Homo-oligomer: A and B are copies of this chain.
Amino acid sequence: MNKIVTSIESKNISLELSIKLLEAAVVKGKELGMPFSISIVDKVGNLKAFSAMDGAPVLSLEIAQNKAFSAAAYNRPTHEWYDRLKNDPPLLHGIVHTDRLIIFGGGYPILINGELIGGIGVSGGHYTHDMQVCEAALELLKQFEEV
């Protein structure tokens, strides 16, 4: 038998966890009193689960999906981009044009025990509101971490 690495194992977010994250995000959205779009993507950025709260702005539908995509596709919260770009003009004028890449807050990787399994993206308010909704949802993950 030949000795090569034929495949790489990885984990991907389940629908069950995705729905629990959406529910927690909606609870936070109601608390803030604003309607948000919330998107969960899998490890490679493909749509896994989605909820648009009643009254969510049309513009938020795609931004929420793109934030979740961005977070998973580079394993980086979207709000961390600008700090890395602001003193790096080629990127500041360049990478911002990348299709589907969002460089403001409201997208977070979803990690279990440090491993990327998906992404969450929220849009509807200022990005500081969007980030609060994400963070409220991600609180849930703590109970699933291995001790």
Contacts and interface: CB of A to CB of B under 8 A. Distances in A.
B7 A112 contact: yes
Interface of A: 1-2, 4-20, 26, 42, 44-55, 57-59, 61-63, 70, 72-75, 79, 81-82, 85-86, 89-99, 101-105, 112, 117, 127, 143-144
The prevalent SS among residues of A at the interface is mixed
Contacts of A117: 6-7
Nearest to A117: B7
A52 B15 contact: yes
B16 A45 contact: no
Given A7-B117, A58-B73, 10 more contacts: A4-B14, A7-B12, A45-B58, A49-B52, A57-B75, A59-B73, A85-B93, A91-B127, A92-B93, A93-B103
